[in-house]
């Protein structure tokens, strides 16, 4: 049959849309970003049309060591920077850090023999590469990557080291570094030292990294004939005070994420480099208990070109709490200079300033640095040189080099950087630390992800968030540890609802944002596509396991199916396992489930597990077991199963229980049950959204 013009146009639009969807927008250049160019320009930095050829780049900038990173939440990027600094200061290597997304790999086969490439690679979710490493991963793990030359073996000249960041509670632990290492070896590259693996699941990431890097440096020094020298701090960023500017000068960034935001012309595409300042349409508390909070927010994206699909994630860009900003300024003796305007310039052609400038100390600390996070032991070692006196210096050196002592004095107490400095110096100011050390040594303040808890079919322009507020008591201390993003959201909710003190557990925030641009209850956000998706055929049965805030995407799924049923579609069995402590305290969306039941009739069933109501703790996995026969029958009808929430315990136990159910019900050995579960995962019939 012939297509007429309209058909072709429609088809083309569908194809493009599908391509955009599956490539996470890469064909549109969305990930290649208005942010970098706008702030690179603001910095007078990178020229446009910069090279994607790493060999050429290293040649022209005189580098002999490149550290590639695949990073999602910033940790791998941070480790890469630290390796770069250490390589330079201890061994005189000419190092550069490289975002995997910014280079091509075809010519890795002409990587010079006397140089070294380092790979710092996080594994994300279900054994996937991070967004910025997708292309690299696909290239290097292909059966026959299209290298530029015909060397045999193709990477015989490449010397490399590798470190992975993973989480042992996930099935594909550190698969990114493992697979890349395997591929590099297969193509003849020479690894120096072990391929290191850091484990976030065991909470040992930082120590795993430190334990890996020392032998790696020793092996590399030997291989490359490097001489170790007394490490001295060499800044990567230069800081210039701009006496002719004040914080009211229009070109000064007060926390605006990029140039368009500064100039008030922010427009899409909105993405990980360019947030949308979204109005919060509504916010409320979901728990009925005094000292625990769970927020429900409705984020209005109608004023933007943002879209989402049921099961996607929304990222919230937080602001640091006022007290933490003040404490940091205070301990660094920067109080008087809080609003002084500074420019930050990269002193190396390959370094990137992680925020736009000119800006102020206040804005950097408030909007751009992760100042509340745990401190790195290595960083304390670096700061020792700038201690206010010799005793404090000795203490810092000890903390930096003695793992147990560090744990006992610092980690155990959840101290962040300013608290650590202040405890170690007993309140004496640290006026000698070059501010650049913090830009280099602390992470960029990261957006936090939330599983969207609404259906895009029901409310395409409003995104629901379900977030439990982090407020943990710390043993041995009177105050509690408070999460950055969730307490910021709590404060916004309190302000929106006119609650007496718009502050979260005593924390205050600059809620109106830079130049009051977030006034009227706005929050900067972007949307991230996920693979956690309902089956395209709504008649397929689904089993949803979502205890606690793990119920977030499940609410979206049930909403969507209820709407489909209302509009006359046949919908398959939908069974939701939800768990919490007590029906009267933290039963999320209790009043809504009845509504969905009305629409779905006997196609919907809610199974609850309340862990603190009876004498025995009951969790969702126990309820699954009780329903073994039904679960097995549904799976045999090709039901999809979805698990969301706690990665460390719940998700793993659900996985185990499922294998047991299958084994028992089908009369096969447990190992066979496990294998069937594995195959379900591989076929996307078993999907996880866990954190
Ligand atoms: P943070 O400040 O980031 O702190 C988080 C944790 O880090 C603390 O609890 C603590 O254990 C540790 N920590 C931080 N600072 C220190 C320190 N100084 N010392 C020691 N330990 C420290 N959450 C939800 O509530 N609902 C959801 O739907 C949801 N969906 C998610 C989906 C995905 C894909 C991912 C990756 C995460 C999701 N999360 C969700 C978790 C969410 O992203 C945040 O991690 C969570 O809200 C905490 O953020 P925060 O900024 O408040 O806490």
Q: Which atom of ligand 1 is nearest to the CA of 414?
A: 19
Distance CA 328, CA 369 (A): 11
Residue 318 CA to ligand 1 center (angstroms) comes to: 12
Residue 164 three-state SS: strand
Task: Say if ligand 1 is within 6 A of residue 416 CB.
Answer: yes
Task: Say if ligand 1 is within 6 A of residue 485 CB.
Answer: yes
Task: Say if ligand 1 is within 6 A of residue 486 CB.
Answer: yes
Residue 675 CA to ligand 1 center (angstroms) comes to: 32
How does residue 25 score in pLDDT terms, banded at 50, 70 and 90?
very low
Distance CA 552, CA 313 (A): 10
Residue 642 CA to ligand 1 center (angstroms) comes to: 21
Rounding to the nearest 10 degrees, give the CA dihedral for residues 593, 594, 599, 602: 90
Q: Print the SS3 string covering 589-647.
A: CHHHHHHHHHHHHHHEEEEEEECCCCCCCCCHHHHHHHCHHHHHHHHHCCCEEEEEECC
474: left (phi over 0), alpha (psi -120 to 50) or beta: beta
Active site residue 580: no
Active site residue 65: no
Q: Which atom of ligand 1 is nearest to the CA of 553?
A: 28
Angle (CA) 551-553-556 rounded to 5° is 110
Task: Say if ligand 1 is within 6 A of residue 549 CB.
Answer: yes
Task: Say if ligand 1 is within 6 A of residue 374 CB.
Answer: yes
Query: Which pLDDT tens digit goes with each residue over 500-541?
Result: 765 556 678 999 999 999 999 999 999 999 999 999 999 999
Q: CA end-to-end span of the chain, whole Å?
A: 50
Percent of the chain with pLDDT over 90: 84
Report which of residues 474 and 468 the model is more confident about: 468
Query: Which pLDDT tens digit goes with each residue over 555-582?
Result: 999 999 999 999 999 999 999 999 999 9
Task: Say if ligand 1 is within 6 A of residue 466 CB.
Answer: yes
Question: In this predicted structure, what is the pLDDT of residue 503?
Answer: 55
- Point out the catalytic residue in the list 217, 430, 593, 691: 691
Q: What is the number of other CB atoms lying within 10 angstroms of the CB of residue 243?
A: 8
Residue 222 CA to ligand 1 center (angstroms) comes to: 41
Question: In this predicted structure, what is the pLDDT of residue 131?
Answer: 92
Residue 25 CA to ligand 1 center (angstroms) comes to: 26
Residue 483 CA to ligand 1 center (angstroms) comes to: 7
**102: DSSP letter:** G
For range 88-98, the mean pLDDT: 94
Task: Say if ligand 1 is within 6 A of residue 451 CB.
Answer: yes
- Point out the catalytic residue in the list 451, 453, 455, 456: 451
Alpha-carbon distances, residue 507 vs 230, 248, 423, 510 (angstroms): 42, 26, 21, 10
Report which of residues 536 and 350 the model is more confident about: 536
Task: Say if ligand 1 is within 6 A of residue 483 CB.
Answer: yes
Residue 449 CA to ligand 1 center (angstroms) comes to: 9
Residues in the chain: 691
| Lookup result for tokens 């549904």 | 634
List the residue whose alpha carbon is closest to atom 6 of ligand 1.
483
Query: Which pLDDT tens digit goes with each residue over 167-179?
Result: 988 878 999 999 9
Question: In this predicted structure, what is the pLDDT of residue 201?
Answer: 87
525: β partners: 276, 316
Q: Which atom of ligand 1 is nearest to the CA of 453?
A: 28
Of 60-64, 122-126, 419-423, the one with minimum mean pLDDT is 122-126
- Could you tell me whether strands 640-645 and 542-545 are parallel, antiparallel, or unpaired per DSSP bridges? parallel
Site to probe by mutation for ligand 1, drawn from 406, 463, 467, 557 as the one with most ligand atoms within 8 Å of Cβ, is 467
Residue 403 CA to ligand 1 center (angstroms) comes to: 25
Residue 644 CA to ligand 1 center (angstroms) comes to: 15
Distance CA 93, CA 374 (A): 29
What average pLDDT does the chain have?
91
CB-side exposure of 490: number of CA atoms within 13 Å? Answer: 27
- Point out the catalytic residue in the list 283, 464, 644, 646: 644
Question: In this predicted structure, what is the pLDDT of residue 96?
Answer: 96
Question: In this predicted structure, what is the pLDDT of residue 12?
Answer: 52
* Residue 313 and residue 527 in contact, taking contact as beta carbons nearer than 8 Å: yes
How does residue 311 score in pLDDT terms, banded at 50, 70 and 90?
very high
Question: In this predicted structure, what is the pLDDT of residue 95?
Answer: 96
List the residue whose alpha carbon is closest to atom 5 of ligand 1.
483
16 pLDDT higher than 70: no
Task: Say if ligand 1 is within 6 A of residue 691 CB.
Answer: yes
Task: Say if ligand 1 is within 6 A of residue 418 CB.
Answer: no
Question: In this predicted structure, what is the pLDDT of residue 508?
Answer: 87
* Residue 598 and residue 564 in contact, taking contact as beta carbons nearer than 8 Å: no
List the residue whose alpha carbon is closest to atom 40 of ligand 1.
450
How does residue 479 score in pLDDT terms, banded at 50, 70 and 90?
confident
Active site residue 586: no
42 pLDDT higher than 60: no
Question: In this predicted structure, what is the pLDDT of residue 230?
Answer: 83
Active site residue 48: no
Tell me the ipTM for this assembly: 0.99
Task: Say if ligand 1 is within 6 A of residue 454 CB.
Answer: no
Query: Which pLDDT tens digit goes with each residue over 620-670?
Result: 999 999 999 999 999 999 999 999 999 889 999 999 999 999 999 999 999
Question: In this predicted structure, what is the pLDDT of residue 530?
Answer: 94
Question: In this predicted structure, what is the pLDDT of residue 350?
Answer: 85
Query: Which pLDDT tens digit goes with each residue over 243-275?
Result: 999 999 999 999 999 999 999 999 989 999 999
């Amino acid at each position: 049959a012939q297509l007429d013009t309209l058909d072709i146009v429609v088809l083309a639009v569908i194809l493009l849309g599908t391509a955009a969807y599956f490539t996470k927008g890469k064909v549109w250049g969305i990930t290649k970003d208005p942010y970098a160019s706008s702030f690179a320009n603001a910095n007078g930095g990178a020229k446009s049309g910069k090279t994607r050829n790493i060999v050429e780049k290293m040649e022209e900038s005189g580098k002999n060591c490149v550290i590639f990173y695949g990073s999602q939440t910033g940790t791998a990027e941070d480790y890469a920077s630290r390796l770069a600094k250490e390589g330079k200061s201890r061994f005189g290597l000419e190092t550069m850090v490289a975002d995997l997304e910014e280079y091509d790999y075809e010519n890795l086969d002409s990587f010079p023999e006397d140089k070294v490439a380092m790979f710092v690679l996080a594994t994300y979710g279900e054994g996937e590469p991070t967004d910025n490493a997708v292309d690299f991963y696909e290239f290097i793990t292909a059966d026959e990557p299209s290298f530029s030359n015909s060397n045999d073996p193709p990477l015989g000249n490449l010397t490399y080291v590798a470190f992975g960041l993973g989480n042992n509670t996930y099935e594909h632990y550190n698969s990114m570094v493992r697979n890349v290492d395997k591929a590099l070896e297969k193509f003849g590259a020479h690894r120096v030292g072990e391929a290191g693996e850091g484990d976030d699941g065991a909470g040992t990431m930082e120590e795993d990294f430190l334990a890996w890097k020392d032998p790696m440096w020793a092996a590399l020094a030997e291989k490359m004939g490097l001489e170790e020298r007394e490490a001295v701090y060499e800044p990567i960023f230069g800081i210039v005070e701009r006496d002719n500017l004040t914080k009211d000068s229009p070109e000064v960034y007060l926390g605006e994420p990029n140039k368009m935001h500064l100039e008030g012309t922010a427009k899409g595409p909105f993405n990980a480099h360019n947030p949308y300042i979204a109005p919060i349409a509504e916010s409320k508390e979901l728990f009925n208990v005094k000292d625990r909070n769970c927020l429900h927010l409705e984020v209005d994206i109608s004023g933007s070109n943002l879209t989402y699909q049921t099961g996607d994630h929304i990222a919230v860009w937080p602001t640091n709490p006022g007290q933490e900003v003040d404490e940091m300024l205070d301990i660094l003796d920067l109080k008087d200079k809080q609003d002084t305007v500074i420019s930050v310039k990269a002193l190396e052609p390959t370094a990137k300033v992680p925020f736009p400038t000119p800006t102020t100390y206040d804005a950097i600390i408030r909007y751009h640095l992760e100042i509340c996070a745990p401190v790195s032991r290595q960083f304390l070692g670096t700061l020792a040189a700038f201690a206010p006196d010799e005793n404090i210096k000795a203490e810092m050196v000890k903390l930096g080099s003695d793992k147990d002592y560090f744990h006992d004095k610092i980690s155990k107490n959840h101290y962040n950087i300013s608290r650590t400095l202040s405890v170690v110096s007993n309140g004496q100011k640290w006026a000698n630390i070059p501010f650049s050390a913090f830009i280099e040594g602390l992470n960029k303040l990261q957006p936090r992800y939330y599983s969207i808890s609404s259906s895009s079919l029901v409310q395409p322009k409003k995104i629901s968030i379900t977030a439990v507020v982090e407020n943990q008591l710390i043993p041995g201390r009177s105050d509690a540890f408070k999460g950055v993003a969730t307490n910021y959201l709590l404060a916004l909710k309190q302000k929106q609802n006119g609650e007496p003190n718009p502050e979260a557990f005593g924390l205050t925030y600059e809620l109106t944002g830079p130049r009051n641009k977030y006034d009227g209850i706005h929050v900067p956000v972007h949307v991230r596509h996920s693979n956690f998706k309902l089956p395209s055929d709504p008649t397929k049965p689904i089993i949803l396991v979502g205890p606690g805030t793990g119920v977030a995407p499940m609410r979206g799924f049930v909403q969507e199916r209820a709407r489909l049923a209302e509009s006359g579609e046949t919908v398959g069995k939908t069974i939701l396992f939800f768990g919490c402590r007590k029906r009267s305290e933290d039963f999320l969306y209790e009043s809504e489930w009845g509504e969905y039941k009305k629409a779905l009739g006997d196609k919907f069933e809610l199974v609850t597990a309340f862990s603190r109501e009876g004498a025995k703790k009951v969790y969702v996995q126990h309820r699954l077991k009780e329903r073994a026969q039904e679960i097995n029958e549904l799976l045999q009808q090709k039901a999809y199963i979805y698990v969301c929430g706690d990665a460390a315990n719940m998700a793993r136990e659900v996985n185990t229980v499922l294998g047991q159910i299958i084994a028992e019900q089908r009369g096969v050995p447990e190992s066979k049950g496990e294998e069937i579960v594995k195959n379900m995962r591989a076929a996307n019939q078993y999907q996880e959204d866990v954190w």
